[in-house]
C-alpha cells in the first residue's frame, strides 16, 4: 500500500520527550509515519504522551530513563533496538539550564548542567552508534541552543551548549562516511517549561529579560527537526538556528 508519509518504517528514539520540544517532536515524527520510542525521567508524562500518540494511530514505546546516567542511557537504547529491531533516528533533546552569571550559579547547578547537557548527549550516542554503523545509515539530532553559538552571559549553560554544538559538528565529520547524518538544532527563546525548573530569582530575571516578546513554540522546533530528517540521504542539514523574530 502506497503512503505519502516520509518516515514510514523508520524508528526514532527521542531522549527528553516528556514535555516541550521533545514531546512536540515525537508527535511530529508520528505524523510523518515514524514509530517512536519516548524516553525521559517523568514516566507519568510519557504515558500521557504515549496515549496521545496511540489515539493518532502511532506506534510508541515509553521508557523511563535518565540520560545523564550511563547505564540507564545504554539500557534505553538497547530496549529501543530490542523492541523494534533497528534505530534510524536518535534525537537528544533533554536539557536543563540556569541562565545566570557564573557568580550566581551553584556548584550543584553547574554539575547538573554538565551531566545532562553534555554527558547526556554522549552516553546515548555512544550506545546507539554501533547499531547505526551496522545499518549503514542513521540520523543523530542534537538540540543545543542559540547560546552555544552566540554566547550570552550565562557561563555554565552557554559552555555546555557550546560544547554540544562543537561536538555535533565534529561527530558529523567523523561518521558521515558511515552513512550517518548529524544535525544540530540551535533555538533561541522557546515557550516551554524550561524556566519552571530554575530558582525563583533566576526565573524572574529571565522572564523580565524576555518581556512580552513572542517566543518560539515547541512545534516550531519540531518542524525544523522534521525538515532535517526528511531530506534525501545525500543531504546533511548540519546546523539549524531558529530565533524569535523579535529576539536580538
Distance of alpha carbon 220 from alpha carbon 217, whole angstroms: 5
Angle subtended by helix axes 120-135 and 70-84, to nearest 10? 30
Clarify whether 157 is annotated catalytic: yes
How far the first Cα of the chain sits from its last, in Å, is 48
Beta strands in 127-207 (DSSP E): 138-143, 180-187, 190-191
Catalytic residue (choose from 110, 123, 157, 227): 157
Q: Strand, coil or helix: what is 35?
A: strand
Q: Sort residue 147 into left (φ over 0), alpha (ψ -120 to 50) or beta.
A: alpha
Phi, psi angle pair for 185, to nearest 5°: -105, 125
Q: Which residues are catalytically annotated?
A: 157
Amino acid at each position: 500500500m502506497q503512503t505519502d508519509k516520509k518516515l514510514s518504517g523508520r524508528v526514532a528514539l527521542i531522549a527528553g520527550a516528556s514535555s516541550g520540544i521533545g514531546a512536540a517532536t515525537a508527535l511530529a515524527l508520528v505524523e510523518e509515519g515514524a514509530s517512536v520510542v519516548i524516553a525521559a525521567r517523568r514516566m507519568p508524562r510519557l504515558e500521557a504522551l504515549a496515549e496521545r500518540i496511540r489515539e493518532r494511530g502511532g506506534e510508541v514505546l515509553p521508557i523511563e530513563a535518565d540520560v545523564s546516567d550511563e547505564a540507564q542511557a545504554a539500557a534505553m537504547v538497547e530496549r529501543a533496538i530490542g523492541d523494534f529491531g533497528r534505530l534510524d533516528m536518535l534525537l537528544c533533546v533533554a536539557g536543563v539550564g540556569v541562565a545566570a552569571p557564573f557568580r550566581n550559579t551553584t556548584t550543584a547547578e553547574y554539575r547538573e548542567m554538565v551531566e545532562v547537557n553534555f554527558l547526556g548527549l554522549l552516553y546515548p550516542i555512544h550506545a546507539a552508534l554501533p547499531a547505526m554503523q551496522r545499518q549503514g545509515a542513521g540520523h543523530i539530532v542534537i538540540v543545543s541552543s542559540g547560546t552555544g553559538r552566540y554566547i550570552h552571559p550565562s557561563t555554565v549553560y552557554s559552555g555546555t551548549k557550546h560544547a554540544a554544538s562543537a561536538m555535533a559538528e565534529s561527530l558529523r565529520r567523523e561518521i558521515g562516511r558511515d552513512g550517518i547524518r548529524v544535525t544540530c538544532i540551535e533555538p533561541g527563546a522557546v515557550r516551554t517549561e524550561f524556566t519552571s525548573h530554575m530558582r525563583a530569582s533566576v526565573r524572574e530575571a529571565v522572564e523580565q529579560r524576555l518581556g512580552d516578546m513572542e517566543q518560539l513554540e515547541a512545534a516550531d522546533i519540531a518542524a525544523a527537526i522534521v525538515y532535517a530528517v526528511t531530506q534525501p540521504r545525500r543531504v546533511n542539514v548540519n546546523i539549524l538556528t531558529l530565533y524569535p523574530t523579535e529576539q536580538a
